[in-house]
Amino acid sequence: MKIHSNKYIGDKAFYKTLLTVAVPIMIQNGITNFVGLLDNIMIGRVGTEQMSGVAIVNQIMFIYFLCLFGGLSGAGIFTAQYFGYKDDNGIRNTFRYKLWLGLAVTVIAVAVMFFFGEDLISLFLNESEGGGDLQATLRYGMGYMHLIFLGMPVLFVSIVYSSTLRECGETIVPMKAGMAAVFVNLVFNYLLIYGRFGFPRLGVYGAAIATDLSRVVECAIIVIWLHRHSATHTYIRGVYKTMKVPLAVVKKFFITGAPLLINETLWSVGIFMQNQAYSLRGLNAVAGQNIANTINNVFNISFIAMGDAVAIIVGQLLGAGKMKEAKKTDTWIISASVMMGLVIMAVMTLTAPLFPRIYNTNEEARRLAAWFLIVQAVAAPKDAFLHTSYFTLRSGGKTIITFFFDSFFMCVVSVPTAFILSRYTDLSVIVIFAAVHAMDLIKCVIGYVLVRKNVWMKNIVK
């Protein structure tokens, strides 16, 4: 028993390090997602069409977020290892590369949403009995999307700065900036959605403006803080003396990062296609899943932070050449994440029927939301394991493997399952949703084998 415990349960020093890294990320993500929940409730209390229009746009924005995340993550692998190797110039190169790549992804995303936004939203608008006004949903969604464009340039700069800070072990500042941002978002949501204290009543458009304002605040805090603390964060000194990145370095970053960019793009598109398949059961399914996903995001902050902890802690150990310690630490983090997943499963299952009652929507949407939440609760331990396994493989630069592990599986298994069952059967949307989650058990076996074989244990900066 003692040997078993030592293998899967870490010592006090490990948990101290893990909590130092993970807790600020959990707090930041927790506050962000909790305020996102309040934001969602505020819009949801305006009406089903407004809530559904915003939810559909946020699914399109989700593709942008993950494209940005995937593109920056490739360079982020090097940032963590450069930091462990104490190479400031290497970090500067990854920072500049991130800025250029973030700009490119943002320009492309804005162009696609500007010219094809109406078509993308319309994919989710399917007739159903008691499902609401589809044209009103489209109108609200388009208005919200156009206002969200304004905050996207600030958003990618903020993500570049905050991701670099985290990869270099500084998680407190992004947390504080995130807390300030969500406070601004919450306050202005209340003022602008409902027209309080003399502000205009703008509904969903007020929610978009509040989101943009919060992103400006978050970006300003992080950028100003980092440049004022260049004495301790020496890699930021002279980072803008040139925006050139050596071609050989770009090639190295791109070779490692391109699979991640492609992976996150295809995975997010896959999620989009799955959700579109669920939407064939009507606008109530869209509304129900929006409610469930927003609540589920609040519960899942723990293992999301565990994935970041793998990227930071294990990445730095690999960069320092401490392979045995990296392997042991990774096992402990995965075990802790799965245990948290089991706790989340119990709490979510018990509370699933309660949260949908808060929303001003119809009874069918509430019923579907509760069942979506129950399925997500049962899937929580599985998702916890998959998330940390993915980041384990990624920490050693095995981005080709993560591509096949993640988005390839999504495209050849998960999406076809949702597509076929939604179009060629009369199964309820909940059964289809559960079947798609069940397919991930195959991926769990693959992830377990890959992690155990230690294919990820590699130093990529020497």
DSSP letters, 238-260, are TTTS-----HHHHHHHHHHHHHH
C-alpha span between 169 and 165 (Å, rounded): 6
Give the C-alpha separation, 94 to 44, whole Å. Answer: 41
More confident residue, 256 or 208: 208
Query: How open is the CA angle 287-288-292, to the nearest 5 degrees?
Result: 120
Q: Please report which confidence band the pLDDT of residue 36 belongs to, taking 50, 70 and 90 as the band edges.
A: low
Given a cut of 80, is residue 207 above it in pLDDT?
Answer: yes
What pLDDT score was predicted for residue 250?
85
Q: Is 189:132 a contact under the CB 8 Å cutoff?
A: no
Say whether 353 sits in a helix, a strand or coil.
coil
Confidence of residue 1 (pLDDT cuts 50, 70, 90): very low
Q: Give the separation between CA 59 and CA 41, rounded to whole angstroms.
A: 17
- The Cα–Cα gap between 41 and 52 comes to 12
Structure tokens at 408: 């390839």
Instruction: For residue 306, give both structure tokens.
Output: 């565990």
Question: By the 8 A CB rule, do 252 and 246 touch?
Answer: no
Domain boundaries, the chain: 2-452
Say if residue 92's pLDDT is above 70. yes
Arithmetic mean of pLDDT, 194-211: 91
Instruction: Give pLDDT, residue 4.
Output: 44
Average pLDDT over residues 178-203: 90
Q: What's the full length of the chain, in residues?
A: 462
Q: What is the average pLDDT value for the chain, to the nearest integer?
A: 85
For residues 214-242, give the mean pLDDT: 92
Least confident of 43-52, 175-184, 323-332, 430-439: 43-52
What does pTM read for this prediction?
0.74
Is residue 443 within 8 Å of 409, Cβ to Cβ? yes
Task: Summarize the confidence of residues 365-381 as an average pLDDT.
Answer: 94
Cα dihedral value 127, 128, 130, 135, nearest 10:
-10
32 pLDDT band, cuts 50/70/90, is low
Check residue 318 and give its pLDDT: 81
The alpha carbon dihedral of 117, 120, 122, 124 has a sign of negative
pLDDT tens-digit profile of 122-158? Answer: 888 876 555 567 888 899 999 999 999 999 999 999 9
Percent of all residues in the chain with a pLDDT value above 90, rounded to a whole number: 34
Smallest Cα–Cα separation from 400: which of 458, 444, 441?
A: 458
For residue 374, the model assigns a pLDDT of 96
Question: 119-133, 168-182, 213-227, 430-444: lowest mean pLDDT where?
Answer: 119-133
Which two structure tokens, joined as six digits, stand for 290? 């929006």
Which amino acid would we find at residue 309?
A: A
Lowest mean pLDDT among 29-43, 53-67, 370-384, 447-461: 29-43
pLDDT (mean) for 203-232: 92
The pLDDT score that the predictor gives to residue 3 is 40
Q: With bands split at pLDDT 50, 70 and 90, how would you rate the model's confidence at 460?
A: low
